[in-house]
Structure 1
Amino acid sequence: MTPPPAPPVLCLSDVVYGVSGRRLLDGVDLTVRAGQSVSVMGPSGSGKSTLLMCLMGLIRPRSGRVEVAGEDITRLSARGLAAHRRRHIGMVFQFGELLPELTPVENVMIASLLAGDAVDDSRSRAESLLTALGVPEAAATQDLSGGERQRVAVARALVNTPGLLLADEPTGALDGEQREAVADLLFGTPREHGCALVVVTHDPTVAGRADVRLHLHEGQLVQVQEAR
């Protein structure tokens, strides 16, 4: 028997958002299941960052639903949204957004401590993730290479075992082998950690690694067809 499909972690339904009379998102629908990866491409100004901010609950769409782990985050209070985000969403930024003077372990621990976990548990999970992701020990995160810092950022995003992992141009500041290594790591996370992954990128090579490739065009997500 064919196993049933994994449950949806992310479900957007008819999401509309605009600024200055321009609709950046015009009835967007998207479903991403546990273990699945999706990439989103599009030119600058097409609304990719707006889409990510909607997924994180940083902006509220004019209409539509944004369900993460079965909860419509557009209806949550500010406190409820913050708690839901900490439990269910991890985010990897282009430049990591790490505190350079802290150790890699301390940078990863921050997300866990903010979620209310005990210090010892937070440290243990941070150390385990960094070891699994091949990050060397360092007195300060600023002493690591760019690729290693992005691995720390991925570890921080995963420390609270989120159902949804988001990445905004995660390889944009990397070159060559570092870019490939971080892309390998990111697109392996749905399988290794059972999460859903959404990556926004300008890099077609990175986008091509996703299970589903989408292009944001005139406020709509259009699936990219594979060349034959």
Structure 2
Amino acid sequence: MRLSDVAYGVAGRRLLDGVELTVPAGRSASVMGPSGCGKSTLLMCLMGLIRPGSGTVEVAGQDIMRLSARGLAAHRRRHIGMVFQFGELLPELTPAENVMIASLLAGDAVDDARSRAEKLLADLGVPEAAATQDLSGGERQRVAVARALVNTPALLLADEPTGALDGEQREAVADLLFSTPREHGCTLIVVTHDASVARRADIQLRFHEGRLVSAQEER
């Protein structure tokens, strides 16, 4: 994953000002900063949901800014996984059904999607349940991680993934997330307000005046 000279502004405000970032497969990066500094904008650029005014956004060897809307949607489904703070799961579905949705949207056969979903959930230690709403908060986040990983993405994004958790659940989900680059060969980008979570990353960054700088340099 590579960002090169990425700039983006809205309402006369420069949120991203020549952002540079390269994180290879198998490695992780954390991004911190106050609310409104550009963290969510960065994630949306990486997902191709907004187009920066200039620069290159490269995911899985492809500059996604050069893709058509249809090509971008297909590329996103195949190469990018996203974990949200509150999971964004359908509570009435089983964990396997929630995970399968990502595979089915990517065009996979139902049997293949179910098989991969069930294996991934078992690997991540998610118990069987008649409905996802019956799981604990930490277990639901594991389902969200499974859904993000089911299409073997090159890039895994996580937006405040432990923000709604506390204690052992937070640590367990953080352990799981930061083990994924090594175990699944993907790049992990985590946006967080939690310094203890951010310190787990191989590369620790903070927003400063629209740019990403080393978190260590800011201390």
Smaller-chain TM-score range?
over 0.9
The AA in structure 1 aligned to 2:11 is: S
What secondary structure does 2:3 align onto? strand
Matched, 1:52 2:43: yes
Which 4+ stretches in 1 moved above 4 angstroms?
none
Aligned residues: 219
For structure 2, list consecutive stretches of 5 or more residues without a partner in the other structure: none
Which AA in structure 2 matches 1:116?
G
**What residue number does 1:95 align with?**
86
Candidates 193, 215, 218, aligned match of 2:184: 193
2:68 counterpart letter in structure 1 = S
Q: Taking every aligned residue pair, what percent have the same amino acid on both sides?
A: 85
- Give the aligned residue type for 2:44: M
- Looking at structure 2, the residues matched to 72 and 121 of structure 1 have their Cα atoms a distance apart, in angstroms, of 30
Give the letter for the 1:159 counterpart: V
Question: How far apart, in 2, do the equivalents of 1:225 and 1:146 lie?
Answer: 32
Unmatched segments (≥5 aa) in structure 1: 1-9
CA distance in 2, matches of 1:218, 1:137: 46
Is structure 2 residue 19 aligned with structure 1 residue 16?
A: no
Whether 2:159 is the aligned partner of 1:145: answer no
Secondary structure of 2:161's partner? coil
What is the distance in 2 between the residues matched to 1:144 and 1:225?
37
Residues 53-108 of structure 1: CA deviation (Å, up to 9, x unaligned): 00000000000010101111111111000000011000000000000000000000
Residues of 1 paired with 2:111 and 2:54: CA distance? Answer: 43
Among 178, 197, 205, the alignment partner of 1:214 is 205
Paired AA for residue 57 in structure 1: G
Aligned AA (2:67): L
Mapped partners of 2:61, 2:217: distance in 1: 31
Q: Considering only aligned residues, what root-mean-square deviation do their CA atoms show, in Å?
A: 1.2
The equivalences for 1:57-96 within 5 A come to: 57-96=48-87
1:87-126 mapped onto 2 (5 Å cutoff): 87-126=78-117
1:167 — aligned with what?
A: 158
Q: TM-score, normalised by structure 1?
A: 0.94
Counterpart AA for 2:4: S
Cα separation, 1, equivalents of 2:55 and 2:127: 44
Q: Distance in 2 between matches of 1:227 and 1:110?
A: 41
**1:128 and 2:119 aligned:** yes
For 2:208 and 2:131, locate their aligned partners in 1 and report how far apart those are by CA, in whole Å: 41
